[in-house]
Amino acid sequence: MDRQQHPLESLLDEAIKCAKDGKLSVGDLLSAYGTRGFGPVIATLALITILIGAIPFLPMVIAAVILLMSVQLLFGKKQPWVPGAIAQRSIDVDHAKNVRDKSAKWLRRVDRLVKPRLEWAAGGVAQWFAAFGVSALALVMGAPPLEAIPFAVDVPALPILIFGIGLTARDGLFMLVGFAFSAIAAYLCWLWLSQPEGGSESASLVISMVA
């Protein structure tokens, strides 16, 4: 697949090619994306969470990795780094292929929309605020009670995915959409605290509208 024409759709293909022994690890993701920065890693991890996040403890592990990425971005690091123990964390490559197949059509559509634009919203101070937002969302996504609530982990994972796309494509419009969806995620979390059933129904509606 042409990475230039389909930069998002090709993300998981690149990662799967680096998988070893039937497993796709965090280290494989870093190897696949080389010097392309934090965006592809964050976007891929968020996408995996949305599509196969029902696997026990997976959202917690992914949230920890995303938090590590976003904190490095906050401190101005140019390339992502993870310690060896985290780099070895993995999922079955079949799960990754399932995510690729489920998301291909959607990512193909997104590829037609993204492009470098609104530089003021894609870098500098805006990127710092996006990293702060991703850090907060990752903390929410990794909270153990969220796994027990239907669609709950998808709510913070969705704006994280949008931020990841914005960072990958240097698309300020997607970054702004990420901020908007972060506000929605914050509202839904408030609903869960006050009305758990209402929060779950609202989350399901938001995810279905985007899908």
In order, the DSSP letters of 88-119 are: T-EEEHHHHHHHHHHHHHHHHHHHHH--SB-H
**Which residues of the chain fall below pLDDT 70?**
1-7, 34-35, 53-54, 145-148, 150, 192-211
pLDDT in tens, 181-207: 999 888 877 776 566 555 555 555 444
pLDDT of 1: 47
pLDDT for residue 5: 46
pLDDT score at 150: 67
CB 185 within 8 A of CB 159: yes
pLDDT, position 95: 84
* Reported pTM: 0.84
